[in-house]
Structure 1
């Protein structure tokens, strides 16, 4: 029997759970932001290369992250049922799958140059990006293991430690970047390679910290005892839930990666402007992503208890919170675009005026997709909480690959709107996904929870 919570109580619960997750995502985002800002100071070509390489890396990372995302609702549901054994089993097999995935994609990271050239990138930018990926690629394994362990801790509502580990990682990354990109504090000046080394260092430090916490503070789960022993039944469950999540992630990130490729066709300056605008849009998206994680955990708890009233009311609250955040960021992007973009550029850079002009237009388009981007990620969080991932995967593929990507190409190149057109395609794809996924949750999934609302 469920205890009826008021909307205010739901909002407070989401805030307590979600704000540390938002902070953790923002701190994690700061790692990429630091790379962008410091390499923007170092040179436009380096910024263009890391924009391209980052998109390539995250296509693979977010595909593999599906297993970490799958652990979150599974652990949340098991915690609601007080099933300690299932918590351990799901988390451990999430780690197994992440290790196997990392080994499988390493060749794509090591030999990325011919792939980037086949995608039509300039020789110089592709060469720099591939050098970056040969080093940064070694961070794939620790990054995915951190994703699984953070999902495990967040599902148990240990969100404060998730926040502080992410903050510590951001500090380590900033200091290492500052030393190795520019050659400060007696370190060699390595430019883009310094950013790659800093990325791997940061992911490794994060992994050590999160393992230490899990072993020390949650010994009852014994995550790493007899870690080598297979658990094929749970392995298959995590795999079946995680693969659709990974493919959903892949669909969305492929849309954004394709936009980076298309902007690269327009030249290094438009690609650099795209990288800056995308960093700013991504910063605000981290808030929605944190709320989505909170939605997954609370929906997973409600799903474990078969509590439809709690699920429905909580879903309304977290959606309203996301909409409020969208309103704030729309205003910010429309009124403060130039000062925000200027943060990423050297005052004396001769290409600064052109990057600013392009970036302001792109940020106006980013304002347009704030509402729909928030809606689609909140809907995904709710659907994952109730372990519904296959149909959302198909909806995402339709929205991003069939609607968004062709629209970006048509508007950008066939109709000649260039960068603005490419970003207009992003808006259309995200809007399509937002409508389909919200309709899926409210029209289909919530009806399957057994108790009356």
Structure 2
């Protein structure tokens, strides 16, 4: 068999262009996805503070479960990228990888829904207000049915992005925003002939949106010649157990990493619930802004996973280095601007969710502004850890980063958040100091591991 000829390693400028070509649409799609959640917050906030607090607790659990399971199936991205780097177009290997990821999605959906059903019990165990617990349980009973479609959509998104069609993810997410906004408008307040269901109406809107997104992905894959040639639903009943287990092997540490990171932010919501309803509402709004900014380095990290994975398949160590460092520089550079924005224009940003000039919102705005000051301090570290983790995933290095995340977020991170938040007069501010500390530790350790990748034997010989 003749060796496969690979193109020369891109220079720094060429690699920057390639990373931007992937990261731009993915980051925009991530931001649009966050805008979908923000729309929920905007509509639910107009029902009342009680409903907003209840939904934030339910979403803390649902988001934790969903993000971790999507990350597990997301291990298909570096696998596909490596296959393309080794021998493009790799029709059969890519098709089998997507097929097994979809099989895994079905299994994980059942597990995820079962976990979501435990939300009321979890809230009672953590001492949440009984009225909030009841509202959150009603909301979650509908919301959890969105999980299977969202996990499948995550696999299809990885497929189209790895195959060079990241703009599809952006466009489909944008359409989903419109569907979600209309659904919230109709089912929360009883417009457009729909019943007025309040908080439960918001969950119905999310369910409709998630199903619609999967349908649009299926349509896009069917109509695009490059994507359709892979025929990802062909021979769907045929198992490929070695590939299935490879996704599980690589993806399980990623899922645990996400559980460690997202879990500490979810647990912070429960800590805030213990501090007070005002602090919980302010935490919800401020965290939405911080999470919105995070979507850019997160998208750059997704692009770094694909680019690094491609060069792993091509056995190109120089390409690996350039892809990883390019992503880290881009992600960190963007977070400099968000940190400045949080410091100089906090009220303008908070105005997205509420009216800062209203007398009834004065206390909420003051607390949320304080949280944004701390968020500005950890923006750089959040960007570094997001992209460094993505680059390491491109190397299929997920086990040690998992332990780094567990240590960083739960020992110095959550330990300090709980101690300062509940044990001192700092309250909610102490919780956010703890969150920032966890991100600093994670960024430092992941960046060290990326720099030491060759010495640690993580790159191909």
Shorter-chain TM-score category? over 0.9
The number of residue pairs the alignment matches comes to 451
Change in Cα spacing, 1:38 to 1:315, as seen in structure 2 (3 Å) is same
CA contact (8 A) 1:40 1:346 kept: no
Is 2:33 aligned against 1:28?
yes
Asked if the contact 2:73/2:104 (under 8 Å) is kept, the reply is: no
- Secondary structure, counterpart of 2:146 in structure 1: helix
Indicate the larger mover: 441-450 or 126-135: 441-450
Q: Distance in 1 between matches of 2:228 and 2:303?
A: 24
Partner in structure 2 of residue 65 of structure 1: 70
Kindly indicate whether the alpha-carbon contact (under 8 Å) linking 1:2 and 1:307 is maintained by their aligned counterparts in 2: no
- Higher mean C-alpha displacement, 43-52 vs 181-190: 181-190
2:459 maps to which of 432, 439, 449:
449
Distance in 1 (alpha carbons) for counterparts of 2:97 and 2:65:
22
Structure 1 counterpart of 2:3: none
Q: Secondary structure at the match of 2:391?
A: helix
Structure 1 equivalent of residue 309 of structure 2: 300
Per-residue deviation, 1:223: 1.4
Cα 1:432/1:111, change in 2 over 3 Å: closer
Aligned equivalent of 2:262, options 253, 260, 263: 253
The answer to whether the aligner puts 1:15 opposite 2:20 as a matched pair is yes
Matched, 1:91 2:101: no
Residues 331 and 90 of structure 1: is their aligned pair in 2 closer, same or farther, counting only changes over 3 Å? same
- Any conservation in 2 of the 1:67–1:148 contact (CA below 8 Å)? no
**Is residue 139 from structure 1 mapped to residue 146 from structure 2 by the alignment?**
yes
Matched, 1:389 2:398: yes
CA offsets per residue over residues 317-363 of structure 1, 9 Å max, x none? 22111122111011100011122213312578664111101100001
Q: What is the Cα deviation at residue 85 of structure 1?
A: 1.6
In structure 1, how many angstroms separate the alpha carbons of the residues matched to 2:445 and 2:136? 36
For residues 216 and 345 of structure 1, what CA distance do their matches in structure 2 show?
41
- Aligned counterparts, 1:419-438, within 5 A: 419-438=428-447
Q: 2:240 aligns with which of 218, 231, 249?
A: 231
The answer to whether the aligner puts 1:209 opposite 2:255 as a matched pair is no
Task: Name the stretch that deviates more: 428-437 or 347-356.
Answer: 347-356
Residues 200-220 of structure 1 deviation map (CA, whole Å, 9 limit, x = unaligned): 111000011112222343233
Give deviations 1:158-184, integer Å, cap 9, x for gaps.
111111111111111111111212222
Partner of residue 55, structure 2: 50
Match of 2:202 in 1: 195
Higher mean alpha-carbon deviation, 110-119 vs 372-381, is at: 110-119
Aligned to 1:409: 418
Matched, 1:155 2:155: no
Deviation at 1:120, TM superposition (A): 1.7
Picking from 310, 314, 318, the partner of 1:309 is 318
Question: Alpha-carbon deviation of 1:442?
Answer: 1.1
1:377 aligns with 2:382: no
Distance of 1:344 and 1:63 partners within structure 2 = 27
Residues 106-117 of structure 1 mapped to structure 2, 5 A cutoff: 106-117=113-124
CA distance in 2, matches of 1:240, 1:111: 27
1:80 aligns with 2:89: no
Tell me, in whole angstroms, the C-alpha distance in 1 between the residues paired with 2:133 and 2:262: 19
The corresponding residue for 1:100 is 107
Secondary structure of 2:106's match? helix
Q: CA deviation at 1:110?
A: 2.8
1:185–1:349 CA distance, 2 compared to 1 (3 A): farther
Map of 1:266 onto structure 2: 275
Q: Which residue of 2 aligns with 1:287?
A: 296
Q: Using the alignment, how far apart are the partners of 1:48 and 1:307 within structure 2?
A: 50
Query: How much has 1:157 moved relative to structure 2?
Result: 1.4
- The CA deviation string for residues 421-452 of structure 1, in whole angstroms up to 9 with x for no partner, is 0000000001100011111111135754346x
- Stretches of structure 2 that go unaligned for 5 or more consecutive residues are 1-5
Q: Does structure 1 retain, via aligned residues, the 8 Å contact 2:413–2:439?
A: yes
2:350 equivalent in structure 1: 341
CA–CA separation in structure 1 for the residues paired with 2:163 and 2:153 = 15
Q: TM-score, normalised by structure 1?
A: 0.96
Tell me the TM-score normalized by structure 2. Answer: 0.94
1:178 paired residue among 163, 181, 185: 185
SS at match of 2:197: coil
User: Residue 2 of structure 1: CA displacement?
Assistant: 6.0
Are the counterparts in 1 of residues 297 and 383 from structure 2 also a CA contact under 8 Å?
yes
- Determine if contact 1:362/1:420 at 8 Å carries over to the other structure: yes
Contact in 2 for aligned 1:49/1:126 (Cα 8 Å): yes
Deviation at 1:102, TM superposition (A): 0.8
Query: Is 1:167 aligned with 2:174?
Result: yes
